[in-house]
Amino acid sequence: MCGIISYAGKRKALPILLEGLYRLEYRGYDSAGVAVVEKNGVVQSVRAVGRVEDLASSLSGVDMHGTVGIAHTRWATHGAPSVANAHPHADCKNSVFVVHNGIIENHNHVRSALLREGHVFSSETDSEVLAHLIERALAGYRKPFFLEDAVSEALRHVEGTFGIAVVSAHDAGKLVVARRGSPLLLGIGDGEFFAASDSAALVRHTRRIVYLDDNELGILSPQGYEVRNFRHKPVAKAIETLVGSLSDAQKGQYEHFMAKEIHEAPDVIRNALRGRVLYHDGTVKIGALDSLAKKSARIERVVIPSCGTSFYAGLAGKYMIEEFAGIPTEVVHASEFRYAPPPLGAHTLVVAISQSGETADTLEAVREAKRKRAPTLAIVNVVGSSIAREAQMGIYNYAGPEIGVASTKAFISQLTVLSLLAVWLGRQHSLSVSTGRSILEELQYLPQKAAVALAAAPRVRELAEIYGAYDNFLYLGRKYNWPTALEGALKLKEISYAHAEGYAAGEMKHGPIALVTDTFPTVVIAPSDSVYEKTISNIQEIKARRGKIIAVATEGNTEIEKLADHILFIPKTIEMLTPILAVIPLQLFAYYVAHKRGCDIDKPRNLAKSVTVE
C-alpha cells in the first residue's frame, strides 16, 4: 500500500526515482508523483493519476536536473484519486514537499488549526497537513535553520502512522525521512543515499540497508547520512545486507508475476524445509524456537492473529497444532485483536503471520501481546520487516519476493512452516517419534507432488475457458480444506472480480445451498481424507439441485468421476498437508479465469500488496 522512493546523491534524481516507482507498482496504487530539488533551490514537482507510465508521460519535456528528490505511489484513503490528492504535497509557498505513507488520525483537528493561522490547502488528504506543519516550524526558526529540526517539531503535533520523506527549497541539498508505524529503510551507496518503503526499490542500487525503527529520523545528503530519534539524539544503527537478487523481482518467462509465483511452489516448499528437518529424531530444528524450548511445556494455548490469506493459513495451522500438539488454538482477525484481544498471558503463545511483515493490524497485535507478557512468534517472508523485529521470535518463509498482489506462494510457504511448527510443538508435548517422522517424510516428498499438481495447468486453463464468463461461485471444503475453500474463493474474487463464497461444507445446508443453480457452479475440495464421505454427500446434494461441480480430488479416485462435472486431481498425501497441494489448482483456476476476463492480474483494482494502515 503506497510506496516511497527518495534519493540524495550525485546523479540526476529523476531516473532513479522513476525506476524505483516502477519497482513499487506491485504494492497497489492509483496515482504517482515526484519532486526534485534543483541546484538553484527551486523544487519541481509533477503528479499524475493512474500508473507510473502516466507520470512518465507527464514528465516528458520537463527538465529536472537536481540530485535530491522524493517520489510516491498513492493508494487512496482520504480523498479520491486525483492530481490534487496525489503526492508529493507542498506547503503554501511550494517550498516544502512531503510524501507520506500511513494515516494522520488527527488531521481534521490539525487542519482546522492551520486554516485559522492562514494556511491554504489544495487537497482532501490527511497527508497535506505535514507539509504545512513543517512550513510553520521552519518559519519559527531563526536562521540558520535545519530541515530535520522542523520535521521533528512538526511530527510532535500528529497522531497516527507515518513513513515520510521531505525536501525543501530552504535546505536544498538535504533529504529528511522519518517513520512511526509505517516501514522505511535507508539504502547506503557510494556517495549516494536512498530511502524507500520497500527494498524492491533499492535492490538495483545497493545491498547495504539500514532499517529505521519507530520514532526515528534519517538525514541524508550526498555527503553522508545520520539517524536520530525525535528528541534529536543520534542513534547508532547497524548496516545490514539486503537478501535476494534483481532477478527475483522479474517475471522471466511468465506473462505475469502471479503465474511465476504459483509455479515456484516446489522451490518454496524446499526453501521452507531446508535445514529444519531432523528426520531421525522426528522433530524440527528452528533456531528461533530455541528460546521457547524451556517454556514450551508451559504453553497452554496458541493464538494466531493474521489477516486475509495469512488468516486462512492460520486456520489450517490451528487444525495442525491441535491435532498433533494437543494445544488449544484460536485464530483471530488481527484487525479485531487490538480492540477485543482474547485473554493473554505468559502461557499463551501468540503466532503472528504476515507475508510482508508490515501488516499494520498484525503488527499492533504483536505489540498488544507483548504488553500482556505473552511470548510472540512471527512467521514472515521479509527479512528485517517490522513484525520480524518486533516479535520476540521469528521464522522466515524464505519464499523470495512475492510481487503479485494476490498471495500464492506465500500461502504455501506459510502452510509448510505451520506444519513444521506443529511437529515441533507436538514433540515438545506428546507427539511420538514415529508420527513426527511420518509427517517429515511426507513433507520432503511434497515439492515433487506440488510439481505434479502444477502439471495440470493446461487442464485448469480449459476449465477457465468454460467457466470464465460465470459471475458467481461457491467453494466448499471440510476440516483442513475449509481454509482452502476460503482461500480459493478469495483468489478468484481478488483478481477476476467474480463473486465467490468460501464455506465449510457442513454449513452449506444452513443457507448457501439456496444459491445453487445450474449457473452457480460449486468448487469442492474433496481429497481422500477422514471427511471424504461427508464431502461426497455435499456433492450429491448439489447435483440433486442441478448445480455444476468442479472437484479437487486425490489421484486414483474413480468414484468421484460419476458425480463431478469436472475434476482436478492432486497427488495423495497425508491429510494435514492436503491444503498445500489442493490450493495449487485453485490458484491456477483464479489466474486463468482472470486472464480470460482481461483483468489486471498482478495489480487488481482497489487492492494493495501490503496493508500498512489500519
Question: Is 2 in the active site?
Answer: yes
The residue-averaged pLDDT of 287-305 equals 86
Domain finish residue from 195, 215, 242: 242
pLDDT score of 1: 61
What is the DSSP secondary structure assignment for residue 104, as one 8-state letter? B
pLDDT score of 246: 55
**294 CB burial (10 A radius; 0-12, 13-18, 19+):** exposed
Asked if residue 162 and residue 79 are part of one domain, the reply reads: yes
Q: How far is CA 473 from CA 255, 504, 505, 534, 591, in A?
A: 26, 14, 14, 21, 15
Other beta carbons within 10 angstroms of residue 298's beta carbon come to 10
| DSSP strands (E only) in 169-316 | 175-180, 185-188, 193-196, 208-211, 216-221, 224-229, 240-241, 277-278, 283-284, 301-306
Answer whether the bond into residue 88 is a cis peptide, omega within 30°: yes
In the chain, the number of structural domains is 3
Let me know: does 551 contact 538? Beta carbons within 8 Å: no
Question: Is 599 in the active site?
Answer: no
609 within a domain of the structure (yes/no): no
Domain containing 321 equals 251-454
Catalytic residue selected from 449, 479, 491, 609: 609
**CATH of residue 209:** 3.60.20.10
Choice among 29-38, 115-124, 237-246 with the minimum mean pLDDT: 237-246
The residue-averaged pLDDT of 427-445 equals 95
pLDDT score of 489: 97
DSSP, collapsed to helix, strand or coil, labels residue 584 as: helix
Other beta carbons within 10 angstroms of residue 605's beta carbon come to 12
Domain finish residue from 242, 266, 292: 242
**CATH of residue 393:** 3.40.50.10490
Q: Is the pLDDT of residue 611 over 70?
A: no
The length of the chain is 614
CA-wise closest residue to 308 among 183, 410, 184: 410
| pLDDT tens-digit series, residues 314-327 | 999 999 999 999 99
pLDDT score of 143: 59
Let me know: does 485 contact 502? Beta carbons within 8 Å: yes
528 within a domain of the structure (yes/no): yes
The residue-averaged pLDDT of 349-368 equals 93
Q: What is the mean pLDDT of the chain?
A: 92
The residue-averaged pLDDT of 341-369 equals 92
Longest dimension (CA), the chain: 84
CA-wise closest residue to 154 among 211, 93, 75, 100: 100
Integer Cα distance of 13 and 97 in angstroms: 15
Catalytic residue selected from 2, 260, 307, 493: 2
Percent of the chain's residues with pLDDT above 90 = 74
The pTM score is 0.84
User: Where is mean pLDDT largest: 65-69, 357-361, 610-614?
Assistant: 65-69
**Which residues contact residue 143 at a Cβ distance below 8 angstroms, ignoring those fewer than 6 apart?**
none
pLDDT score of 515: 86
Cell 520514532 locates to 215
DSSP, collapsed to helix, strand or coil, labels residue 234 as: strand
pLDDT score of 444: 95
CA angle 179, 182, 185 (to 5 degrees): 65
Q: Is the pLDDT of residue 612 over 60?
A: no
pLDDT score of 583: 98
pLDDT score of 610: 60
Asked if residue 292 and residue 360 are part of one domain, the reply reads: yes
111 within a domain of the structure (yes/no): yes
pLDDT score of 75: 80
Q: Is the pLDDT of residue 365 over 60?
A: yes
558 within a domain of the structure (yes/no): yes
Asked if residue 460 and residue 438 are part of one domain, the reply reads: no
Domain finish residue from 242, 270, 288: 242
Convert 429-460 to b/e letters by CB count within 10 Å (16 or more is b): eebeeeebbebbebbeebbebbbebbebbeeb
Asked if residue 172 and residue 193 are part of one domain, the reply reads: yes
Asked if residue 460 and residue 450 are part of one domain, the reply reads: no
Asked if residue 586 and residue 541 are part of one domain, the reply reads: yes
In this structure, which amino acid lies at residue 557? Answer: N
